[in-house]
Structure 1
């Protein structure tokens, strides 16, 4: 194995004194860029060389992270220096260069005539001529400074594309016929028919049906499922949950058959809860697949809870279901 690879190997057991000294040097070098903005280009080059020297001593991840952070600071500082150089009075003017380039290729006519010598430059103002660009002329000048072999698809014409001017004109105003305009329907409070609380009514209906069973336990699926209407089966389970929440109905699993059953029970009092009675909350999943499977398994042909008519609400002169 080459010696260089041995020196750069990962060594978690590096001497602690050497590690602390290396970290200190990295911190000092990085601090020069964070606290001093007047560093010269020579100082940046010296710091980069020092970073290369320090990296030869790196043996662990923490020191490699310090090296990466130092390189980031050097890169950011160098980029700031480059931007500062471009922002001076001697900065390269791209717009002026493009204007001169277009004029040189014949895209614009100079206000003052240009000499026949191609080396001569015209520094006057230009007006728009709209002539096609002579790329071969600038190509001959470029070939004198470049050894690159010319190709067929050289530069295409972003410079030959004329800038489109936006036509700012008055838009035709759309005149609306007031006879065609309709006012929204005004709804007053007395127009809305107030229906009775359906939830309270249906919960009471379920309680009355369970009460007619004289305390006998019934399969929860046989009780809530309407074999002809899946949405109402879901509603029945919703209404039943209020009875279980209030402690009026008990839910249990039969030990012999394993069927889930419900039955009315005496509603517990505050003393019962004080003596240690605890409510248990349960989440029951009930989808259409479960609904169909329960109808097949328990042979449900008729609902125990009567079919309810669809509720309707009248708003103004119209009814909504």
Structure 2
């Protein structure tokens, strides 16, 4: 086996592990045990670090799909960490006066034991050693220090770009969930992506589906009955057995005129996917 073939197979194995970690983190959102969620999140982060140590820089450049899955896993882990910290901080200040009174009534002797252990108050009848008070020296006036005005805070320029990247990743996840729920038996590609009310949303849907095809989460095939491209989700078992290549992608070239012709030809009156932002 050549070195390039070994690199591809190792990249595929890492992608499968990334997806397994991502599914495990998503399932932790429904776990009510906060301590267990924190332990599972820490274990997932350690496993991701071990996966990062396996591949070199050149291999990451040849397989950018790993970087995308790694960012999704870290995003899910950070969301879990935030929810765990909020749950802990929300329980710190809870005070139930009825429970406090119940504890006092159940343990009356506990409150009596604290008083004998208190340190006795020390009282001295002796005066000071020096009969005359110390001489008070005049204090020098303090100098007023002119403070410089604080410079105006400058926000980093890449914050808006990062927020847009997180928003795009969330929209891709919503498209994947929609296809998994509604299109298990396959659905027409053009009916899925075309939005008769907006050309811009149609182009965005085309790109979102292309990202899912690239990552091996959905497949595009030709329907034998209609002769048109259809879309259906890829099962978890199929993702593990298939050798996903980073070059697999399906993007349809479209302009305003073709968009109108396709909507008219297929009789599309309303969008199939409505992604709420």
Instruction: Please report the TM-score for the alignment, with normalisation by the length of structure 2.
Output: 0.39
Q: Which has the higher contact order (CA 8 A, sep 6+)?
A: 2
